[in-house]
């Protein structure tokens, strides 16, 4: 701080006049003054005046700045508008703190922003660089990367087009960005505050689920406050059925608007059922497992209601039914079959009251029973000959059965004195053998009949479907259950139970011939032999294999060597030869490392060994180190003219013999 002390004013200042300056430094409440005298000519360095040393000039409305010498002013690059409402920067503007602009800003040079910035209504006249220093290319847009910005290609374009109020838009020309009306329309708000969506000019509404998605079912669902109520769709990941589900209500009703439902399906537990208000026409077969209540008329196959007292009866033609006059009072019976004794004949009867009875006819009574010629039973008293089409037995179903199912016995009902049977399956030994063929369709625990022998006919299809059965075909028990003319293979059991005698779709006939055992030769794999078992049955041997084509036999192998007649493969393969009544035996077998050994004696101990690795032969040893090694005994040549032949290095062979007295003689051979 400088203090200038003034003196009385004089008219004309002299160059020699002196001004006294005092520099003041405040320290702890007391001052220490330093004074300085200076001439008037020095005052310019402290005081700016019209006659001082500061010079320079500039352009109107341009903000000045110091030139490099510190004493001269000049123009800066910042110009104020004449109205005073804005400034113009003609060069680079660097801002180290916040830069707030209330009005508009126009840049004609580079703008570098190091921090976060907010722009509104910005117009760039020059190049704009992204965070990576790239100026971009024509048509690109500036996009945020999450941490900065970068120039990217514009994936969209301008959108044009018009539409009708309340219609949902749809791209009508996607590449050119044109939209128009779809067929989906939203209604105006209804009186209840809700809306309706409708499809105009629509043929169908399709849910197209890709086959690559294996979970979930495509469906339409109606919900209330997010709670599903009803749904209909396709059971994609189940059995492939279409379905209707009612999650919360009592079932389904079908009918015209404002009318009582024609069809009502009740799903409430304990009240399940189907109610049909008006006519019901059934063109195919129908099975009802519950009560059938008819409150109006019931027409037969001729479209007639019948008269009072008539009963509905099958005509046997095309599975049709017809109203007929009821037979006499009491219980009526249908003849189902017969069981013969030594001289008597017992006929099984199914009563109209649900009972199962039988009639015993004594031989010699000369009685003939007929049922329109299709199931005749005749007794000839003169010759005591009993003639019947089939033998039928009463049964109780162990599980549901349909007509034509082969059955096996699972038990016996002592109270009703009947066999309990279930559906047979040739692929499961526990469900074999077959003892009869079910005569009808029976529910679980239902009473019925089976044909045990003879003619099996009635409403039965013997065309065989895709198997194309023919007269004379042998019928087997099918793997999985049922009948087939294809003989089971592999490990499936084989039981031929009938022969096709008549091929018809509705009135076919089989002759049941062989029941009670798997009576055909079991399937035998190629090259195998049958062997008997301890249970007196046949078994395909898995030990011996016969290659009939190449006349080879394998034991323990299904591929005997082509150069062999007998090929043995086992961890202890051996060929044993023994004389009857003798405890000693000889054997040929392999040892460690496939060495060939010859044994003899009561234990078959090893006598000779031939190694597979080098061909060395051992007598009395199993590990010969030479081509011939004898251990535990001598080698004797009984012929005096014979001896030991040795080969010299030059290839000459010499025989070594012994003369009387033990003299050795060597001679060339």
pLDDT value of residue 31:
52
Per residue in 559-585, is it b (16+ CB within 10 Å) or e — as a string? ebeeeeeebbeeeeeeeeeeeeeeeee
Q: Are 326 and 367 in contact (CB under 8 A)?
A: no
Ranges 88-92, 154-158, 292-296, 370-374: which has the least confidence: 370-374
CA distances to 263, 326, 536, 656 from 602, rounded to whole Å, are 93, 92, 34, 38
CA distance 76 to 67: 10
| Apex 87 CA angle, 84 and 92, nearest 5 | 170
| 235-285 per-position pLDDT tens digit | 876 667 788 888 877 788 888 776 677 788 888 877 788 887 777 777 767
Chain segment 572-616, per-residue pLDDT in tens: 778 888 888 888 888 888 877 778 888 888 887 888 888 888 888
pLDDT at 138: 83
pLDDT band at residue 471 using 50, 70 and 90 as cut-offs: very high
For residue 383, pLDDT over 50 is answered with: no
Q: Say which range, 357-371, 467-481, 496-510, 584-598, has the weakest mean pLDDT.
A: 357-371
Backbone torsion region of residue 525, taken as left when φ is above 0, otherwise alpha when ψ lies between -120 and 50, otherwise beta:
beta
3-state class of 361 per DSSP?
strand
d(CA 21, CA 16): 16
Going by the DSSP 8-state scheme, the letter that residue 661 receives in this structure is G
Q: Per-residue pLDDT averaged across 125-140, rounded?
A: 81
pLDDT of residue 339: 41
Mean pLDDT along residues 318-322: 70
The model's confidence at residue 446, banded by pLDDT at 50, 70 and 90, is very high
Indicate the average pLDDT of the chain.
76
Around Cβ 396, how many Cβ atoms within 10 Å?
A: 19
What are the pLDDT digits (tens) for 390-433?
788 899 999 999 999 999 999 999 888 899 999 999 999 899 99
- Please compute the mean of the pLDDT values over residues 117-125 and round it to a whole number: 68
In the chain, what percentage of residues exceed pLDDT 90?
11
Arithmetic mean of pLDDT, 189-213: 85
| pLDDT greater than 90 at residue 295 | no
542-571 pLDDT per residue, tens = 888 888 888 788 888 888 777 667 777 777
pLDDT tier, 477 (very low <50, low <70, confident <90, very high otherwise): very high
**Rounded-to-integer distance, Cα 27 and Cα 21, Å:** 19
Residues 466-471 have a mean pLDDT of 93
Distance CA 40, CA 26 (A): 28
pLDDT digits (tens, 9 = 90+) for 5-53: 455 554 565 656 555 555 555 444 555 555 555 555 555 555 544 454 5
Is the pTM higher than 0.75? The answer reads no
Decide if pLDDT at 524 tops 50: yes
Q: If you average pLDDT over residues 518-529, what whole number do you get?
A: 71
């Amino acid at each position: 701080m400088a203090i200038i002390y003034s003196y009385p004013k004089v008219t004309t200042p002299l160059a020699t006049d002196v001004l006294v300056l005092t520099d003041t430094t405040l320290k702890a409440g007391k001052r220490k003054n330093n004074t300085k005298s200076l001439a008037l000519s020095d005052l310019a360095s402290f005081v700016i005046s019209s006659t001082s040393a500061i010079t320079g000039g500039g352009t109107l409305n341009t903000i000045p700045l110091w030139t490099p010498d510190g004493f001269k002013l000049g123009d800066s690059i910042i110009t104020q508008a004449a109205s005073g409402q804005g400034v113009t920067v003609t060069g680079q503007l660097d801002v180290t703190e916040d830069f707030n602009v209330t009005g508009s800003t126009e840049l004609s040079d580079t703008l570098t922003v190091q921090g976060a910035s907010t722009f509104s209504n910005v117009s760039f006249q020059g190049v704009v660089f992204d965070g990576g220093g790239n100026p971009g290319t024509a048509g690109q847009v500036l996009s945020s990367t999450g941490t900065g910005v970068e120039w990217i290609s514009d994936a969209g374009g301008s959108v044009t087009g018009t539409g009708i109020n309340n219609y949902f838009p749809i791209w009508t020309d996607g590449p050119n960005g044109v939209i128009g009306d779809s067929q989906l329309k939203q209604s105006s708000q209804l009186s209840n505050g809700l809306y309706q969506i409708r499809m105009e000019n629509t043929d169908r509404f399709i849910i197209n689920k890709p086959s690559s998605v294996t979970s979930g079912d495509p469906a339409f669902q109606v919900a209330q406050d997010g709670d599903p109520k009803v749904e209909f769709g396709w059971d994609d990941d189940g059995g492939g059925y279409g379905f209707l589900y009612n999650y919360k209500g009592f079932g389904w009703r079908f009918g015209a608007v404002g009318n009582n439902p024609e069809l009502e399906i009740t799903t409430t537990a304990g009240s399940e059922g189907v109610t049909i208000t008006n006519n019901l026409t059934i063109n195919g077969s129908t099975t009802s497992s519950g009560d059938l209540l008819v409150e109006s008329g019931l027409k037969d196959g001729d479209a007639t209601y019948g008269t009072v007292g008539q009963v509905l009866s099958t005509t046997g033609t095309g599975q049709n039914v017809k109203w007929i006059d009821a037979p006499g009072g009491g219980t009526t019976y249908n003849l189902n079959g017969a069981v013969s004794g030594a001289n008597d004949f017992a006929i099984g009867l199914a009563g109209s009251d649900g009972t199962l009875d039988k009639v015993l006819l004594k031989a010699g009574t000369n009685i003939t029973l007929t049922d329109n010629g299709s199931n005749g039973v005749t007794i000839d008293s003169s010759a005591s000959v009993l003639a019947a089409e089939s033998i039928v037995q009463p049964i109780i179903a162990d599980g549901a059965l349909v007509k034509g199912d082969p059955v096996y016995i699972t038990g016996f009902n002592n109270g009703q004195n009947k066999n309990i049977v279930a559906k047979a399956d040739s692929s499961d030994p526990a469900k074999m053998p077959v003892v009869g063929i079910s005569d009808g369709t029976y529910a679980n625990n239902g009473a019925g009949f089976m044909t045990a022998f003879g003619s099996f006919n009635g409403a039965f299809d013997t065309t065989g479907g895709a198997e194309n059965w023919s007269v004379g075909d042998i019928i087997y028990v099918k793997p999985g259950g049922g009948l087939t003319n294809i003989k089971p293979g592999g490990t499936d059991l084989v039981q031929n139970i009938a022969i096709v005698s008549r091929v018809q779709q509705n009135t076919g006939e089989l002759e049941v011939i062989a029941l009670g055992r798997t009576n055909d030769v079991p399937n035998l794999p190629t090259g195998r032999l049958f062997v008997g078992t301890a249970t007196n049955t046949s078994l395909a041997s898995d030990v011996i294999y016969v290659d009939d084509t190449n006349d080879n036999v394998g034991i323990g192998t299904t591929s005997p060597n082509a150069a062999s007649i007998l090929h043995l493969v086992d961890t202890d393969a051996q060929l044993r030869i023994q004389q009857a009544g003798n405890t000693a035996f000889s054997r040929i077998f392999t040892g460690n490392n496939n060495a060939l050994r010859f044994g003899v004696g009561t234990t078959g101990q090893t006598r000779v060994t031939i190694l597979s690795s080098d061909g060395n032969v051992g007598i009395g040893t199993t590990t010969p180190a030479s081509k011939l090694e004898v251990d535990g005994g001598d080698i004797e040549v009984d012929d005096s003219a014979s001896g030991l032949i040795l080969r010299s290095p030059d290839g000459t062979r010499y025989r070594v013999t012994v003369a009387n007295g033990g003299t050795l003689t060597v001679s060339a051979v």
